[in-house]
Amino acid sequence: MTRVVTLGETMALARTTEIGSLRHASGLALGIGGAESNVAVGLQRLGIETSWLGRVGDDPLGERIVRELRGEGLDVRAVFDTAAATGLMIKERPSAASTAVHYYRRGSAGSRLSAADVPDGWIEEAALLHVTGITPLLSDTARSAVLAVVERARAAGVPVSFDINYRSALAAPEVAGPVLREIAERATLVFGGIEELDLLGPDATTSLLAAGAAQVIVKRGPEGAAVFTLDDTTEALGFAIEPLDTVGAGDAFVAGYLSAWLEGLPTGDALVRGNACGAMACLVPGDWEAAPTRRDLERFLAGGGDPVRR
């Protein structure tokens, strides 16, 4: 049985190879990236069987996405779209301490995801469904697809993990808030930063728990994370590192936490694993390349979070 299923847009990713504005960059490195597939890779590397579904263009970049994800051992359910191109994001480092991401995804193949793309049984046979707030803001059909798979999961008794993952480039707060709230109220686990939770309305953590969420997991970046339930609160500090690229750290945290949750570990241990995975993701350029294997994670934790191997 597939342990985790997830769906969403994965794009081609081009990043500058030196610090400075994209206006003057002399070279770009090509890869792939997408919140849901980042989580999928992270889970797969930690030993959790994972399946990803998404639309890609019938083009070389779409083929690259499928090849890369299959190379990570994922069960890839790709729909090749002959009428739209694969989306693109470009990352630049304007300074040593900053990263900027530019998206070229309007009308992309990934944005054309629909409920009809999701095969029968794929959701119902899973142990967990993971979705993010990015996909429902891409288009009306993508929003309908996310709501449909969430309802299918709930009807089948499959837990739902939802990472708010708000992207202001996709929708204004007043537009995104109600959409994301609708999904969060149907989730078992809700992940988000403090500002993202505020987007869902006043006292969102309490109201989501009252609506039926089992846990609300608050990501605090380098300060760590906390888990809120109806009964208690569990917190864990982050790891002190010198980050190179923070994009994808939140996805790595989610993968680490979900892997521990699926294994039935105590909440405090799940937070430590999530924080460790998030920290490790910041040590290498790219959205998912530094997602740790179980062995990488054990070494990192055995060293007290010190990334230097001695």
Measured torsion, CA atoms of residues 6, 66, 251, 86, in degrees rounded to the nearest 10 = -100
Q: Active-site residue 120, yes or no? A: no
For residue 133, give the amino acid letter: G
The catalytic position among 75, 251, 269, 296 is 251
User: Both ends of the chain: CA-CA distance in Å?
Assistant: 40
Contact 84, 57 (CB under 8 A): yes
**Strands in the chain per DSSP E:** 4-7, 11-16, 28-33, 50-57, 75-81, 88-95, 98-104, 128-132, 160-163, 189-193, 215-219, 225-228, 233-236
DSSP assignment, residue 291? P
Coil, strand or helix: which one is 140? Answer: helix
Q: Which residues are identified as catalytic?
A: 251
